């Protein structure tokens, strides 16, 4: 995987984590019926996809990415 593909994959996984957070955490809290198990699953899934994106992103530390 080249740098461009890694960046795009990381962005995609960040977007997936935002979508999961919206659908499984924010929406149930906004509506009347909040399912604790569903919210817990949403938090875990959001963190997994965000972490996966962060790992792919590599935590690169160079002059251009401070």
Task: State residue 28's pLDDT score.
Answer: 84
Residue 10 in contact with residue 53, Cβ under 8 Å? yes
Task: State residue 62's pLDDT score.
Answer: 60
CA 31, 20, 48, 65 torsion-angle sign = negative
Task: State residue 26's pLDDT score.
Answer: 86
Residue 66 in contact with residue 49, Cβ under 8 Å? no
Listed in sequence order, the residues at least 6 apart from 51 whose beta carbon sits closer than 8 Å to its beta carbon are none
The structure tokens 């963190």 sit at 47
Task: State residue 25's pLDDT score.
Answer: 87
pTM, entire model? 0.77
What ranges do the domains of the chain cover? Answer: 3-57
Digit-coded pLDDT (tens) for 8-65 = 999 999 999 999 999 988 888 888 777 889 889 999 999 999 999 999 988 655 656 5
Task: State residue 19's pLDDT score.
Answer: 94
């Amino acid at each position: 995987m080249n740098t461009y593909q890694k960046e795009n994959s990381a962005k995609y996984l960040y977007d997936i984590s935002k979508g999961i957070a919206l659908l499984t955490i924010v929406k149930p809290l906004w509506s009347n019926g909040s399912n604790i198990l569903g919210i817990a699953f949403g938090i875990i899934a959001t963190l997994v996809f965000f972490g996966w994106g962060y790992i792919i992103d590599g935590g690169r530390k160079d002059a251009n990415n401070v």
